[in-house]
Structure 1
Amino acid sequence: MNIKRIGTVAAIAIVGAVALSSCASNEGGAGDNASGSSSSGTDYSKLSGTLTGSGSSAQQTAQATWTAGFQNVASGVTVNYSPDGSGAGRKNFISGAADFAGSDAALSDDELSGSFAKCAADSKAIDIPVYISPIAIAYKVDGVKDLTLDAKTIAGIFSGKITKWNDSEIKDLNKDASLPDANITVVHRSDDSGTTENFSEYLDANAKDVWGKEPSQTFPYQVGDAAAKTSGVASSMASASNAITYIDDSGAGSLDKAKLMVGDKATTISAEGAATVVADSETVSGRADNDLAIDINRTDTADNAWPLVLVSYAIACQEYKDSATGELVKGYLDYVVSKDAQDAAAKEAKSAALSSDLSEKAAKAVASIK
């Protein structure tokens, strides 16, 4: 299998490590993977062909992990995933340039009302959750290693209303911190981004008066520095000083991460906290039976909840014009939502594996693909 455009040396290293680990497991003859069959009965070893995926850069590490693992059970399949960003991925899928999309935002009603080039004439696309991850508020501030922010303060910073690190609103939340009298450098996404949409949904739900913008995949303010994709934001932060950004936790690297005020508690970012919020959320009403778009509970205040979370989807046709493509997409996504694949991605990307309930629903949705 070819793994193309994974994007970073670190991600390529992950691919190699996962592949070696999987090979070692297979040599030991462990479980279904050794026989090339899934727990759902799919015989991966009989699949052959090439799949093209495009989209979420937040999924980048997870996709590298999944494709490396899939190699060991479906050696006849090549999966090429390009982390172009969620917006670009959906556009590529809609136009037929990709067989499936990865997206940190589910398809909109407008997108669903249109046609999909790869889907059968009477078929639409469906959203299948494959990746749950907390979004970090990551920062580099001289002399500050412990920072707490709330939604109101985050909205003020990213809208350009709060411009200094020693602003009184930040100081009130961090009385023991040595906050410098320095300008805040905001780093945000330049491309249409599902991460941006999730970030703006959180601020709209928790600090609407300060944020003042409707949720969008496009960052709405002309402040700070803009960078494309998760990797671009991470690169910009690496060379910046006194800077702050929002970024999928898998891309935060060695950056410091702020605690988030959830209710009256300063909460540390965690995959478990992200999973708690998703478990407390409902699916979007009015969707097709196999569409599992999730209406995230952005105001969840359960213990250790992290409501600044993204649910990232695999977007596929319910029925493909080309049944062979449908068979490949179905096989790959069947692997992606499996417990082994979810646990492997959670380890490498610091994401949360799908809960047993959501995994069962996702597997059922995948099984419906034709």
Structure 2
Amino acid sequence: MNLKRIGTIGAIAVAGTILLASCAANEGGETPAAGLSGTIDGAGASSQGSAQEAWIAAFQTENPDLTINYDPSGSGAGREAFIAGGVSFAGTDSALKQEEIDGGFAACVPDTGYIQVPAYISPIAVIFNIEGVDELNLDAVTLAKIFKGEITTWDDAAIVALNPDATLPSAPITAVHRSDDSGTTKNFADYLYKVAPEVWDAEPADPFPYATGEAAQGTSGVVDAVTNGTNTIGYADASKAGDLGTAAIKVGDEFVKYTPEAAAAVVDESPAGDTNNGETDLAIKLDRTTTDPTHYPLVLVSYIVTCVEFQDAEVAPLVKGYISYITSEAGQAEAASAAGAAPLSADLSARVATALEAIVAE
């Protein structure tokens, strides 16, 4: 594994970094580590936004001399910032690519490795705002055709056949996707590519692949566009669905609404990812093609990526303490309460704890 330091790339400033903090006490169970002081910066997946707010509030309550900044700029931006040394950790809904791993990470001591662990498991909701429609069933083929632009009206025969009891309007569909590089997009596309490959023929990637529909920045942008539009549909981390309608997707012979438990079931039964490089890389390759209706395969696993050994040794105990907390039983309970996330299973949590022990924090 080649982990040469990138010497020619300057650190990327985290534009628009926001301090997510409050005086709320941790209600997740065990108390986070205390007595830490300093500042650490992270950036990345907007799907983690609500969970990061809760995690930071709890951890800073126990560590009042510690400041944690997390910029929910999107998975792609977060990975880029971490690669270039602009942040100490990244949140990403897409696992690192092998070329990113091979290129190295400027914040890390060369050839000492990296950490990639799941921290946040959540369903992706298919959100909609359709006049006169409260319930919506969709299968993968129909969903793919809507977002590819092949189905353009709500009273299309394919949608009507899936929703015989609904009064669907004879109105154009506005399908809203992410304009930025997004791990949520990659997970959404991966589901369609695996389950409806005859329609969705673009390899899953962070950018949305087709020149169709309406584009919006970040999770909040998609939610706002669907909320404020007419006869709209989009996709977003389920924690941000709010009062919008959410579609049931077809799994096997049944239509399934998302739940944290159904999302967690998919993760627990999925194999290791393609770039899984030992005990410190716990990437997962999700099983999208399950036909078990107790599973919800439109799910994302959002990772935390950081160093085994930092160039700046002072940040190591801060990052190790924080990530250990958010992946602990208490941190996962906090995310479940604040964002409706599915907690890591006991087995996966134990493997994450083992991986984090590798961080050099003397």
TM-score by length of structure 2 reads 0.92
Distance 2:93 2:79 in 1: 10
**Deviation of 1:76 (Å):** 2.1
What letter is aligned with 1:156?
A: K
Secondary structure of the structure 2 residue equivalent to 1:154:
helix
Secondary structure of the structure 2 residue equivalent to 1:273:
helix
Distance 1:234 1:69 in 2: 27
Distance 1:184 1:202 in 2: 21
The correspondence of residues 5-20 of structure 1 with structure 2, limited to 5 A, is 5=17, 16=22, 19-20=23-24
Q: Which runs of 5+ in 1 are unaligned?
A: 39-43
Q: Percent identity?
A: 46
Aligned to 1:294: 284
Per-residue CA deviations over 1:119-164 (Å, capped at 9, x if unaligned) read: 0011232211000000000000011111100100000000000001
**Deviation of 1:31 (Å):** 7.2
Runs ≥4 in structure 1, deviation > 4 angstroms? 4-7
Matched residues, number? 344
**Deviation of 1:326 (Å):** 1.5
1:148 and 1:266 in contact (8 A); partners too:
yes
The correspondence of residues 309-348 of structure 1 with structure 2, limited to 5 A, is 309-348=299-338
The correspondence of residues 155-234 of structure 1 with structure 2, limited to 5 A, is 155-234=144-223
Distance 2:155 2:58 in 1: 47
**Deviation of 1:366 (Å):** 1.3
Distance 1:6 1:360 in 2: 31
Aligned to 1:79: 68
Distance 1:325 1:118 in 2: 10
Secondary structure of the structure 2 residue equivalent to 1:211:
coil
Distance 2:50 2:29 in 1: 25
Distance 1:312 1:112 in 2: 17
Distance 1:260 1:31 in 2: 34
Distance 2:143 2:29 in 1: 47
Aligned to 1:137: 126
Distance 2:357 2:298 in 1: 30
2:357 paired with 1:367: yes
Distance 1:21 1:202 in 2: 37
- The alignment yields a C-alpha RMSD, in angstroms, of 1.7
Aligned to 2:141: 152
The correspondence of residues 80-95 of structure 1 with structure 2, limited to 5 A, is 80-95=69-84
Q: Which runs of 5+ in 2 are unaligned?
A: 1-15
**Deviation of 1:21 (Å):** 4.1
2:343 paired with 1:353: yes
Per-residue CA deviations over 1:189-227 (Å, capped at 9, x if unaligned) read: 000000000001000100001111111110011112111
Secondary structure of the structure 1 residue equivalent to 2:198:
helix
TM-score by length of structure 1 reads 0.90
Secondary structure of the structure 1 residue equivalent to 2:187:
helix
